[in-house]
Structure 1
């Protein structure tokens, strides 16, 4: 059985699930004007996209029919993708999903906001969900999409579905799209240059606009006569702009003085993705308006490449230039190469001239002048074809620190509860140590690491196995997977107790609630033994009902799993609708008077853990022949009701709290040991 469980977690199937495609009437409301839906191009849900003139402008398609990667509910996430003929995303819309964290947890708003990040991105640019790690992204040209806190695994699955479906369409319909490796300044390229060499080679380019040319740009408009200085001196210079890309060190050294060059290199060491530009204007334009704020986007300057805007931002640097460099208003701007900018290909700098007409609430008009620029290829290096890590490896990389902590903490806990169990149970401040460990589990594993295990995962595995599909989604949440691995190992060593007693964040919250109730001296109440036994069977009935739902009403699984308050208390930290918060809080309040009532009676995951505990290979809690007959001390002290009147341990209900181990090994508490120390035999209870 153990081998079957491990196989289910790691097996990746080649089968896919079928999905019905949307009709024209269902797709058309999602199309953004001025585009219109064309005709279907295949039977996989791919449609042509038409522009306002009726010409083909791209493609519209669903992701589920072509890339039905199962989410954490076991069902695929279906999205509608609009792609232009150049391979750029026009839009990505959410159509249908059953991801538990979004259905009734965070809501769909953050999921839809995540998908907005695709607009304008090219399929030629590798995209990953996460943040750059160390210097791994330097010069790689990767685009990092910001994930959704507490739902990283779900958005990774959505991302992979989008890319898989989009690349299918691109390969079939858009063979002309090529992927060019991104360029970044080559630090090894050293070339002696001066200002004149930069001008002669076209590396430094000039845009010169006279007052007469400026007037001509506004001719025939209400602003034609609104620049007295231009009319008074038609031959005067309005704009005398020099543009130099100073990303390559050889070029930067030719225009900046030594101190400024050193400052720039320090800046680029920190902002390794930025491409800096030096702009100098010897005219009266001045580059920016009087309202410009440093370290923001310049209000009178813009740029574009391949028809798409380039985001410019002030580098906020004070610098000096070489003596032969022209003087004037100077500033260094920067743009992020990860957004698709290639400095070795032509791009346009746009300079806006602004005029105002009227004294009160004047009308504002503008004219734009452009300068084409590109820096020779020899100053740049290209990393070659960018290798995007498989999603599971990217997920591991983004959670690397958390996984390293768990890789140390989990073996330490196993050793503490294994070879070190007796010493731990005998510790003078055992309760304080246990609560400290539970606090760490709640904070780090639960709220921070989002490693709260849930019945959702086993049900999704069951659904995937039944319908046929890939189990790869399990790898998208490596923290939870590592907790699952430790839990399954715990089944063999101790039964259910490792997870339920030490690794469950919500179980820890209930234990804290119990101690708070004792501190407040609230009366404690437990069901009578008969009802206690009956209520413990309830969790198995709930588990059976959930399993049945997978087969008879799979779309309702995300609703019925709300019997678990884990999503509310741990995943979303009580930031949900009031009914869910009231439900979770109610169990914690009950825990103040009834010890861990949810865990003992209702938790379907606990029922599954108890079944998994059948893999336990030994009875690890030592017993004496006097235990149960006549001594009942451990049974009376056991808050879980996991000790039978005979003294035997009911491991399906044992949470491995070690209280009975403490009593068993303590000569001051264990009745047989106390009597043996006094030389008095313990009489067996009358039968």
Structure 2
């Protein structure tokens, strides 16, 4: 093997090791260790629910789990945010770590550190109370406190989705594994239903279950004789292997009859809300708890089964273990315990269930045999109030909450769009007032820059097009686009206006960066900066640049969204509008250079570089109306509108290039004002001249007319 081949082989081996699931698991275990510093053992991920159990020696510290196993919420990029979440046994978050994300504002804008700082706030937050992003600190709603965490400026949608992902995932785990988060049983014992019954009557009605397991049954289960196992004496052939009684105690007709009034009242005092209790008594060779059973622990031999799930029982150490002192039972030499069923187990006493006895017999410290037996039972449903399954009221969808929180911004934006539409509809009437129209346009552009752009973060981007195209190609979910109401409303209005008036409604009126460029144009005029003259031929060639950029970006998005988002930095919107120039110097320099060029070439970026404008222009080709008024004199010979069109969208023959027009309506103002339109001025001059000529001829005619003779 040559040296080069050897190096290549080693590289392939290294890559295979790095890509192996084992190494990834080790890396994930390292992340979990950071969430639980005291952990000494991290169990492999279990299936239901998918969590890693984390221990310190034999003490359960909590659980670690990945958000993508519980939530499919898509981030602002259209991809889920993948998180590792740690939670202790009380529902307190040990911490959150970001494993993977595609949020543009963090990848290519603010940087990832604000995201990491944001998730650090979850440490030691309890999911038992609402966790809300932003708002007033320390707020409360009635007696229910609210945990508030600081948001990230310029990334509101991303962090709200992340918060929703954390809560949805953590609550899903808590409802399955933690006490106090699962709903209580759907059947509760009728508190007033009581009938005095003795031991034999309760056995007859099935209130008290009796279960006997013979030695022969055990030997058939094991497949061999139990002779010689520890605890099995030869003379025990005549007694049952296990003789067991059990009863559900929450029903007064059972619990009160077994424990007496005092004992039943004491039981109810010790049970927490939603908890249930069962009595178990046994005798024989193999009892339900071993001789060395530790009170107040869970028995290894006994488990309750329902719907295929095991429900753990917990010894209450009731009456300090002297349960038999309370019972009036015709039994001798029996073991008795009362076990607690915790609320999170969601045991339904009115549904079929089973009691399972795990048999573990030991011959010596090396040889052990095991089997299990289950006794199915069904309690009388007349003992219970059967409740309909309560469907928990789902919280309002996250997108709806975003709309509710930004309602006043939505209202202001909608009113401004209605006003803009009115201006376009009644443009000829409004444009007759030249000064008033120019003041309105200046005010609207200022509103676009300050409110829509800097405050409401409504700067549309070609990245939005990427997200839409990718969503259409996969599982389209309109909720992703509803997350940001301002962006959604602007895109909806822009899309509709494209097919009515063309691209110019957005580019000339609603683009914050476009408004900023136009204001720089005003500044250039004030400072009397000489504008660079670009010939018509060169202007038309330069226009193709933005289309080439768009053609390069769109296919890249299907290959790699991350790469496409990086290339989309050709747009300076994020630097100048979203982040207000608070960014690393190369991005700031690039944006400043583009704005600087706008001082010498009106709206340089919009005309020659903007891929978003190119995309809108391509869709705008299908506009219904060529509604900008032209007259016969336009271009033949009048060039006044063309010379005043700073964007260069009027051809020499007077036609409007709607693909490039930003619809500033300056040409309409000129046409509708007799003191600006050259054709109107010329017509007025000709009319004046004709009027003066006619007036002169009339005077001359009057002078040549015969005069009347004077009276004698």
Partner of 1:94: 98
Deviation at 1:615, TM superposition (A): 4.1
Q: Which moved more, 1:387-396 or 1:587-596?
A: 387-396
Deviation at 1:122, TM superposition (A): 2.8
Instruction: Give unpaired runs (5+ residues) of structure 2.
Output: 1-20, 185-390, 689-712
Aligned pair in 2 of structure 1 residues 646, 135: CA closer, same or farther (>3 Å)?
farther
Aligned pair in 2 of structure 1 residues 539, 54: CA closer, same or farther (>3 Å)?
farther
Q: Deviations over 1:109-147 (max 9, x none)?
A: 221222123222233323333426999945554433332
Partner of 2:121: 117
Q: Deviations over 1:492-515 (max 9, x none)?
A: 332111111111111111111112
Q: Residue 646 of structure 1 aligns to a residue in which SS? A: coil
Q: Residue 68 of structure 2 aligns to a residue in which SS? A: coil
- 2:88 pairs with 76, 84, 87, which one? 84
Larger Cα-atom Rg: 2
Aligned pair in 2 of structure 1 residues 389, 37: CA closer, same or farther (>3 Å)?
farther
Partner of 1:672: 679
- 1:106 pairs with 110, 123, 146, which one? 110
1:272-287 to 2 correspondences below 5 Å: none
Alpha-carbon distance in 2 for matches of 1:113, 1:673: 65
Aligned pair in 2 of structure 1 residues 496, 422: CA closer, same or farther (>3 Å)?
farther
Contact 2:446 2:515 in 1 (8 A): yes
Q: Which of 1 and 2 has higher RCO (CA within 8 Å, sep 6+)? A: 1
Aligned pair in 2 of structure 1 residues 535, 407: CA closer, same or farther (>3 Å)?
same
Give the structure with the larger helix fraction.
2
Partner of 2:520: 513
Alpha-carbon distance in 2 for matches of 1:138, 1:523: 65
Q: Which moved more, 1:417-426 or 1:394-403?
A: 417-426
RMSD of equivalent CA atoms: 2.8
- 1:588 pairs with 595, 609, 629, which one? 595
Partner of 2:4: none
Contact 1:124 1:178 in 2 (8 A): no
- 2:157 pairs with 153, 160, 167, which one? 153
Aligned pair in 2 of structure 1 residues 76, 36: CA closer, same or farther (>3 Å)?
farther
Query: How many residues matched?
Result: 459
Partner of 2:206: none
Q: Deviations over 1:52-80 (max 9, x none)?
A: 22433222122235424332323222111
Deviation at 1:523, TM superposition (A): 1.5
Contact 2:95 2:123 in 1 (8 A): yes
Alpha-carbon distance in 2 for matches of 1:22, 1:75: 25
Alpha-carbon distance in 1 for matches of 2:408, 2:163: 23
Deviation at 1:540, TM superposition (A): 1.4
Partner of 1:59: 63
Aligned pair in 2 of structure 1 residues 529, 162: CA closer, same or farther (>3 Å)?
same
Aligned pair in 2 of structure 1 residues 491, 47: CA closer, same or farther (>3 Å)?
same
Partner of 1:598: 605
Q: Residue 632 of structure 2 aligns to a residue in which SS? A: coil
- 2:485 counterpart of 1:487: no
Partner of 1:559: 566
Deviation at 1:585, TM superposition (A): 0.8
Partner of 2:27: 26
Alpha-carbon distance in 2 for matches of 1:454, 1:571: 11
1:523-602 to 2 correspondences below 5 Å: 523-602=530-609
Partner of 1:328: none
Deviation at 1:449, TM superposition (A): 0.9
Alpha-carbon distance in 1 for matches of 2:660, 2:82: 41
Instruction: Give unpaired runs (5+ residues) of structure 1.
Output: 1-19, 181-383, 682-687
Q: TM-score by structure 1 length?
A: 0.62
Contact 1:642 1:651 in 2 (8 A): yes
Partner of 1:647: 654
Partner of 1:126: 130
- 2:508 pairs with 501, 512, 522, which one? 501
Q: Residue 90 of structure 1 aligns to a residue in which SS? A: strand
Partner of 1:633: 640
Contact 1:44 1:66 in 2 (8 A): no
Alpha-carbon distance in 2 for matches of 1:175, 1:549: 49
Alpha-carbon distance in 1 for matches of 2:132, 2:23: 28
- 2:626 counterpart of 1:619: yes
Deviation at 1:485, TM superposition (A): 2.1
Aligned pair in 2 of structure 1 residues 77, 637: CA closer, same or farther (>3 Å)?
same
